[in-house]
Amino acid sequence: MSLDDVPGETKFSYRPWNVRDLSQIIEKMRRVITRRGWKTLYLENHDQPRSVSRFCDDSDEHRLAGTKLLCIMQTTLTGTLYVYQGEELGMRNVPASWPAEEYKDIESVNYWKYITHKYPEGAPERERARLFMRRKAATTPAPPCSGIPRRPTPASVPDVKPWMRVNDDYPEFNAEVQRRPEPATDACNNVSPYRFWQRALQIRKEHVELFFYGEFDVIKNTHPNVFAFKRKGGDEVSVTILNFSGGEAEFKFPDGFVIHTWLLGSYDAESTKKAKKGTIILKPWEGLLGVGRWDAQQ
């Protein structure tokens, strides 16, 4: 979880990272497993920020694609998977407009106390620190339904003040809304993060030899913003392709490889209509999972 931390500084520091950094971390974890070890898989917990805000783009335009990309990555790696409360809903960090006083986790409180003592009000360093807090602060509550009030609290308990404010996007990003039946249309991005996670976990369970115990190899020489890897278990071979950028990216399949079926894609049905060999163009923050076959030389 230190991928974007500056070594020796607090977690509220920020170091730009690239796909190569991510690949090296995952390959290192994989070496532990090859020595008969095991690992846990997680991107969020009570001390960490929301993963779509930290590792992708949590804007309204790209939030769903990024959420699904991270889901595809995690569910196709080996290890015991932890899905933190609200991660399956695609929850993001609090809005940048919220003041620092809205952050209630102790690390954020102490960090902001340090910043306000060090820098005077209005100093650019203070605003920069607040934005770093927004990126790295601990997670906010996961709303169970769309009926949760923001403020004030319900009339029945007028003197009660919530300990932590609920994210402003709770009317849509809550468990009740996202657990509704999927729409009949196959239009892009119609599948909620919750339903997408259900699909991904079901696929993971159906292919235990592949995703739990299968061989793992990074696909080299891809676009600098694309992280891709193959898994092989028994007679099955899968390819996971992840575009960690806000722009389009080209991915060329290795010679001799052909996708048989696209199983998952960040853009839902639109993703699964892509070409099955040769070269494909990935949309911003697009993740893909497909099963296929390799020729004898692979």
For 236, the token pair is 């099955």
Helices 106-118 and 124-136 cross at an angle (nearest 10°) of 170
Q: Name the nearest CA neighbour of 61 among 287, 283, 217.
A: 283
Q: Supply the DSSP string of 177-192, one letter for each residue.
A: HHTSPPPS---TT-S-
Interatomic CA distance for residues 76 and 45, integer angstroms: 20
The pLDDT score that the predictor gives to residue 146 is 66
Mean pLDDT of the 239-263 span: 95
Interatomic CA distance for residues 189 and 195, integer angstroms: 11
For 65, the token pair is 């694609």
Dump strand ranges (E) for the chain: 40-41, 80-81, 215-218, 226-233, 236-243, 249-252, 258-265, 279-282, 287-293
Stronger pLDDT, 244 or 102, i.e. the higher one = 244
The pLDDT score that the predictor gives to residue 163 is 77
Interatomic CA distance for residues 176 and 99, integer angstroms: 28
Q: Name the nearest CA neighbour of 217 among 294, 270, 296.
A: 294
Stronger pLDDT, 285 or 15, i.e. the higher one = 285
The pLDDT score that the predictor gives to residue 110 is 93
Helices 63-75 and 193-206 cross at an angle (nearest 10°) of 20
Is 153 a residue whose pLDDT tops 50?
A: no
The pLDDT score that the predictor gives to residue 148 is 53
Asked if residues 207 and 235 have their Cβ atoms less than 8 Å apart, the reply is no
The pLDDT score that the predictor gives to residue 5 is 85
The pLDDT score that the predictor gives to residue 295 is 64
DSSP state at residue 86: T
Stronger pLDDT, 216 or 157, i.e. the higher one = 216
The residues with which 293 forms a beta bridge, in sequence order, are 258
Q: Name the nearest CA neighbour of 134 among 105, 113, 163, 161.
A: 105
Mean pLDDT of the 209-223 span: 92
Asked if residues 246 and 285 have their Cβ atoms less than 8 Å apart, the reply is yes
The pLDDT score that the predictor gives to residue 263 is 96
Decide if domain 19-93+139-293 falls under CATH 2.60.40.1180: yes
Asked if residues 218 and 203 have their Cβ atoms less than 8 Å apart, the reply is no
Is 182 a residue whose pLDDT tops 90?
A: no
Mean pLDDT of the 255-268 span: 93
The pLDDT score that the predictor gives to residue 297 is 46
Is 209 a residue whose pLDDT tops 90?
A: yes
Average pLDDT for the chain: 88
The pLDDT score that the predictor gives to residue 158 is 64
Stronger pLDDT, 254 or 285, i.e. the higher one = 285
Interatomic CA distance for residues 25 and 30, integer angstroms: 9
Residue ranges per structural domain of the chain: 19-93+139-293
**Residue 239 DSSP SS3:** strand
Is 218 a residue whose pLDDT tops 90?
A: yes
pTM: predicted TM-score of the whole model, two decimal places? 0.90
Tell me if the bond preceding 152 is cis, omega within 30° of 0: yes
pLDDT digits (tens, 9 = 90+) for 103-132: 888 889 999 999 999 999 999 999 988 888
Close Cβ partners of 250 (under 8 Å, ≥ 6 residues apart): 223, 279, 280, 281, 282
Q: Which helix (H) or strand (E) holds 51?
A: helix 51-55
